[in-house]
Amino acid sequence: MELIEQHQRGYSLPQAFYVEPHIFNADMDRIYRRHWLLAGPTCRVPQPGDYFTYQIANDSIVVLRNESGTIRAHHNVCRHRGSRIALDEQGHARRLVCPYHNWAYDLNGALCAARHLPEEVDQTTLGLHPVAVRVIDGLIFVCLADAPPPFDQTEADVSEFLAPYRLDRTQICRREVEVIRANWKVVAENFWECYHCAPTHPEFCSVMSYAHAQNNERLAEERRAFERDWEVATRQLGHKVGRVEWSDRGLHQGGRVAIRPGFVTQSRDGRPVAPLLGDLTQYDGGITSFMHFPLIWYVVSNDHALLTRFTPVSPLETELELTWLVRDDAVADRDYDPDNVCWLWKTTAEQDRTICENNQRGILSSRYQPGPYTTAESSVNDFVEWYMKEFQGETA
């Protein structure tokens, strides 16, 4: 297709990729309905019967905990004449009852009541369409594909790093949803680089010392020395260090990163903001974060975690859900101040929304043309190359 040929390697994409409805629809088919997505934390559905709905373009799914405590997900589409069933963002139900003619489904998706259904119709064939679910250390991943891509390696790699934090034993400190008026790939590109960090994120740069070190040789040397010391001290605590890189291991990369000297968590002054998570008994001054294609990212400090969920809504809109987690037995305003827990990423996400929306406005201009990625944007280039392969259907 002509558009694909217009893309020059090492450059941002032709305008159509960021604005056209037919490309958006293809993105949903080839990427969002094919790959694993982060739906939310297990603590969003702590009890059997708890559910939440997740809208992904035209698809809506219900993520719930069934009677035996297992997390399941179903398409939110009635098998009678197709009505949306669960209408709320979240709730609690022993059965999912369609509001149209009251067909009822149990928590495993089986149809259990349908008035006047002819006897010859086999009720057992009318269960809700299932959605694949994998739970990794308290994080619920879903995949809309009939044959989801492999996820075992991702699970193994992520779990090795997340296990000590026991994210399955957390609670939601705060959850916020906003719409970024930009194509999901504009948001993704912004997210895959920190080239914009110095001009855009003074607070982030004041917390993570690697940001300024990218632009200054003296700071870079200090940072390298700090990282060496941090790794030794962190190993001595028995905590994990190191990273998992892209490659053929899967669509994820991540691991541990030191914050800055004197900072034990990602807070304004570097001091604790909540009780230590999980099995930790001491702060180590590092974070654990992972990114997965297409656009999943989460970061865990020693005493709180942030999950981001980016979901394309339309060619020019992307929903961002931010969920902060703290230990399940922590009490708000006694053990933690939610504003302090959320400070860094709330501030940073607002700045990112502004720059993404500015970027999209410029891309809509008749004068937009693709520009070259710099050496500080190699991850963006990796993302775009991966995207183009998926778009063309070259990868399995």
Footprint on this chain of ligand FES (rule: CB under 6 A): 78, 80-81, 83, 98, 100-103
Of 94 and 389, CB closest to ligand FES: 94
Of 102 and 354, CB closest to Fe ion: 354
> How is residue 391 annotated by DSSP?
H
Q: Looking only at residues 276 through 305 of this chain, which bind Fe ion when binding is defined by CB under 5 A? A: none
Distance CA 220, CA 137 (A): 34
* Beta carbon of residue 101, minimum distance to ligand FES (angstroms, whole number): 3
Of 81 and 249, CB closest to ligand FES: 81
How large is the angle between the packed helices 338-363 and 184-191, nearest 10 degrees?
A: 120
* Beta carbon of residue 187, minimum distance to Fe ion (angstroms, whole number): 10
Of 96 and 344, CB closest to ligand FES: 96
Distance CA 29, CA 35 (A): 10
Chain centroid offset of residue 148 CA: 18
Among 250, 33, 56, smallest CA distance to 150 is for 250
Of 63 and 98, CB closest to ligand FES: 98
271 binds, among ligand FES, Fe ion, none (CB under 5 to 8 A by kind): none
Q: Looking only at residues 343 through 372 of this chain, which bind Fe ion when binding is defined by CB under 5 A? A: 352
* Beta carbon of residue 352, minimum distance to Fe ion (angstroms, whole number): 4
Distance CA 224, CA 214 (A): 11
101 binds, among ligand FES, Fe ion, none (CB under 5 to 8 A by kind): ligand FES
Q: Token pair 């269960």 is at which residue? A: 127
- Tell me whether strands 170-180 and 139-143 are parallel, antiparallel or unpaired: unpaired
Among 6, 9, 2, smallest CA distance to 382 is for 9
98 binds, among Fe ion, ligand FES, none (CB under 5 to 8 A by kind): ligand FES
264 binds, among ligand FES, Fe ion, none (CB under 5 to 8 A by kind): none
* Beta carbon of residue 91, minimum distance to ligand FES (angstroms, whole number): 17
Of 42 and 359, CB closest to Fe ion: 359
Are the C-beta atoms of 179 and 341 separated by less than 8 Å?
Answer: no
* Beta carbon of residue 263, minimum distance to ligand FES (angstroms, whole number): 53
103 binds, among ligand FES, Fe ion, none (CB under 5 to 8 A by kind): ligand FES
Listed in sequence order, the residues at least 6 apart from 147 whose beta carbon sits closer than 8 Å to its beta carbon are: none
* Beta carbon of residue 67, minimum distance to ligand FES (angstroms, whole number): 22
Q: Looking only at residues 209 through 248 of this chain, which bind Fe ion when binding is defined by CB under 5 A? A: none
Distance CA 1, CA 386 (A): 17
Of 79 and 175, CB closest to ligand FES: 79
* Beta carbon of residue 66, minimum distance to ligand FES (angstroms, whole number): 21
352 binds, among Fe ion, ligand FES, none (CB under 5 to 8 A by kind): Fe ion
C-beta nearest to Fe ion: residue: 352
> How is residue 219 annotated by DSSP?
H
Of 157 and 189, CB closest to Fe ion: 189
* Beta carbon of residue 185, minimum distance to ligand FES (angstroms, whole number): 35
Distance CA 180, CA 182 (A): 6
89 binds, among ligand FES, Fe ion, none (CB under 5 to 8 A by kind): none
Of 303 and 352, CB closest to Fe ion: 352
Are the C-beta atoms of 299 and 286 separated by less than 8 Å?
Answer: no
**What phi-psi label fits residue 391: left (phi over 0), alpha (psi between -120 and 50 degrees) or beta?**
alpha
123 binds, among ligand FES, Fe ion, none (CB under 5 to 8 A by kind): none
Are the C-beta atoms of 273 and 337 separated by less than 8 Å?
Answer: yes
How many other C-beta atoms lie within 10 A of the C-beta of residue 166?
A: 16
* Beta carbon of residue 100, minimum distance to ligand FES (angstroms, whole number): 4
Q: Strand ranges (DSSP E) for the chain?
A: 37-41, 50-56, 59-65, 71-75, 90-92, 96-97, 104-105, 111-113, 130-136, 139-143, 170-180, 243-244, 252-258, 286-292, 296-300, 305-314, 317-327
75 binds, among Fe ion, ligand FES, none (CB under 5 to 8 A by kind): none
Which residues are at the interface with Fe ion (CB under 5 A)? Answer: 352
